[in-house]
Amino acid sequence: MCILHFFNSNPDCTILFFGNTLHKHRLYKQKISSNISSLEQYLDISGGKIKEVITIIEKKQTIFRKEKKHERTIREKDLTSLKNDITVKHIEKYNKDKTADYQFVLFKLKNNQ
């Protein structure tokens, strides 16, 4: 796990994590949830929400699958819509039954490592 290599050199850091699109963010939370037992051996994991609203930008993307052209819509988070300061509304221990509520995930190395 690359994250453990990072923490090896930076044990006091906390990593703030989120996907840049709604799809990627949901996918990342699914992977965290499906591997939660392994991750929690080494990391304290929290999920949280901010008070500010993040604007969503819809972008069209053309892709080719099996030589056929497909157009899809990407829903991307516009982080420029946030000010320099954000207000954290809530942080809690990561609960895989509440992942829809999390706008970000925090990883911190457990103290006993």
Tens digit of pLDDT for each residue in 3-36? 888 888 889 999 888 887 888 888 889 999 999 9
Return the amino acid letter for 68. Answer: K
- Residue 109's pLDDT band (cuts 50, 70, 90): very high
Cα–Cα distance for residue pair 20/106, rounded to 1 Å: 15
pLDDT at 1: 58
Q: How far apart are alpha carbons 62 and 70 in whole angstroms?
A: 6
Q: Is the pLDDT at 113 greater than 60, yes or no?
A: no
Question: What is the pTM assigned to this prediction?
Answer: 0.73
